[in-house]
Structure 1
């Protein structure tokens, strides 16, 4: 992982609609380059698992932040604030506080829902959008996950069916089955790196359960009917869809979503799942760097 991960050049809290979010900024010596803002997944995770994105700091400054009620940000605990629109509004607050006239956006998983919603607003100064393992259509996500679950050993599938029918999401048997899915389709590096462990330990479980559900593949929360596909045609900036070959946000869906954005690119990272920046970083960063460099406005 990048040496930049240890110490940010600047960190603190930013006022956003509904409370305060914690951010960290690492500045690049290439001061004229358009900075990158990084959006984490969840809902309810923290930025920790995305610290490898600081690999890009030699090219440009990088900002990571924890969404409200997540990680090191203020824990308000008000479900009225747990909406896609309010989480989207955070980006403008972060940009304004840091004086970022132009930005690239990188997002992971649920963070892609926020990034797509933001890009569809066609905000001034947004230069590009990179979406890794995007949550775009919740029903399609869960259908994809059902197909992936069907590849698990029969006894684990039986446990999942029984426990999900009984709404028993805490039994050791069920947790073992969930872990088998995550090892295949969430992060294939074993044991999980500390930054992934930190993200899971810091997860705002109430927020995750309220907006999504008990597991990655069983969405029962307020996002269960999320469908951002109608907004994809409104995106006007260069856009890259990325995923791992074994991603729970499957390559088939990634390609289909990319086809809905004018001029969008798609790349699939081999030997990786939902965290390709950790599982197979060399091709991941090669593709991402080339895309951002191509999308950067010429001065």
Structure 2
């Protein structure tokens, strides 16, 4: 009888303890700011080798256990296409941050080209982490596309400051990404369209409006975002992309890779990532979904999420699968199941 009473009391204690760690609505929306309210927006100063600049961030919620930093793609796209997380994360009580990296539309846009390196961006993310007071007990990174590159590179240097990593739709090898685009995706295009695209590329005539006229319906609509009508946030992000930085690092388009990232490859180093890591692939992605699954097995504590109807922005065109999988992963990490 005493044993049963002990078990009952212990169960009640731990149940209450668990419930007490979940933020109430009042706690969730209390940012501890007694000054002028700014809807969670804060310009964070970033130290660089060529001076101090500011980057735009927007905070949602208050949860000291779970702080998620969203890393957008591009490079030099914007947070706008990641606004869809606003429809899912608050309901789970997650604290998360939208963020425009340096050079992107809502942040400072310095002109010194020495700033646009993966290494310098990694140091920027570390400064943002410190500014949002995240650490190894609560810091999650969710990076899409180029944001996935940045997330993996950050983890390789600073995983001791992280709780978990989510890589959405980004292979760990730019050369492999380029081969997949040319050897698999290109062959799915109409032969006449592909021939015209190749002719433009051969002349490096990327400013020719015909180039995007061909790629938008025949590549972007097939492999970047498959929704018949592109979301407003994605349209704004496309409108606001910093083309100079994008071209310098990624190349002229999403149809393969060029620029400074052309030889980027950290696949052999994935085994060094010890923290729980979710790799997300999609059937119609610009990234090989089989490679994304392989990556989940190369890290030490990996999980794979496959989006059967998704493309490069599976967060939009296979939204329920994507969001459900991401949320389940975060909860499992938070509960110590990974």
Task: Give the alignment's TM-score, normalised by structure 2.
Answer: 0.82
Secondary structure of the residue aligned to 1:168 is coil
Q: Which has the larger radius of gyration?
A: 2
Cα distance in 1, alignment partners of residues 335 and 279 from structure 2: 20
CA contact (8 A) 1:110 1:135 kept: no
Cα distance in 2, alignment partners of residues 84 and 297 from structure 1: 32
Task: Give the alignment's TM-score, normalised by structure 1.
Answer: 0.93
2:99 counterpart residue number: 65
Cα distance in 1, alignment partners of residues 144 and 262 from structure 2: 18
1:56 counterpart residue number: 89
Cα distance in 2, alignment partners of residues 93 and 227 from structure 1: 24
Secondary structure of the residue aligned to 1:136 is coil
2:201 counterpart residue number: 164
Shift of 1:32: 4.2
1:192 counterpart residue number: 230
Cα distance in 2, alignment partners of residues 78 and 139 from structure 1: 27
Structure 1: 5+ residue runs without aligned partners?
Answer: none
Cα distance in 2, alignment partners of residues 21 and 135 from structure 1: 26
- Measured at CA, do residues 195 and 148 of structure 1 come closer, stay the same or move farther in structure 2, by a change above 3 Å? same
Structure 2: 5+ residue runs without aligned partners?
Answer: 1-28, 30-36
- Measured at CA, do residues 34 and 119 of structure 1 come closer, stay the same or move farther in structure 2, by a change above 3 Å? same
1:43 counterpart residue number: 75
**Which whole-Å deviations, capped at 9, do the CAs of 1:77-98 have from their partners, x for residues lacking one?**
1110111011111122112112
- Runs of 4+ in structure 1 over 4 Å off: none
- Measured at CA, do residues 82 and 32 of structure 1 come closer, stay the same or move farther in structure 2, by a change above 3 Å? closer
Secondary structure of the residue aligned to 1:121 is helix
CA contact (8 A) 2:43 2:55 kept: yes
Residue 292 of structure 2 corresponds to residue 258 of structure 1: no
Residue 314 of structure 2 corresponds to residue 287 of structure 1: no
2:32 counterpart residue number: none
CA contact (8 A) 2:171 2:292 kept: no
CA contact (8 A) 1:8 1:25 kept: no
2:39 counterpart residue number: 9
Residue 210 of structure 2 corresponds to residue 176 of structure 1: no
Residue 159 of structure 2 corresponds to residue 129 of structure 1: no
Cα distance in 1, alignment partners of residues 64 and 155 from structure 2: 23
RMSD, matched Cα: 1.7
Matches within 5 A, 1:86-235: 86-101=120-135, 102-146=138-182, 147-179=184-216, 180-235=218-273
Shift of 1:266: 1.0
Cα distance in 2, alignment partners of residues 8 and 117 from structure 1: 32
Residue 108 of structure 2 corresponds to residue 78 of structure 1: no
| Greater relative contact order (CA < 8 Å, ≥ 6 in sequence) | 1
Secondary structure of the residue aligned to 2:286 is coil
Cα distance in 2, alignment partners of residues 219 and 286 from structure 1: 30
CA contact (8 A) 1:17 1:86 kept: no
Shift of 1:198: 0.5
Shift of 1:71: 2.0
**Which whole-Å deviations, capped at 9, do the CAs of 1:161-205 have from their partners, x for residues lacking one?**
111111112334322221120000000012211111101011010
Shift of 1:138: 0.8
Secondary structure of the residue aligned to 1:44 is coil
**Which whole-Å deviations, capped at 9, do the CAs of 1:13-42 have from their partners, x for residues lacking one?**
1112332111000114xx343111110001
How many residues are paired up? 291
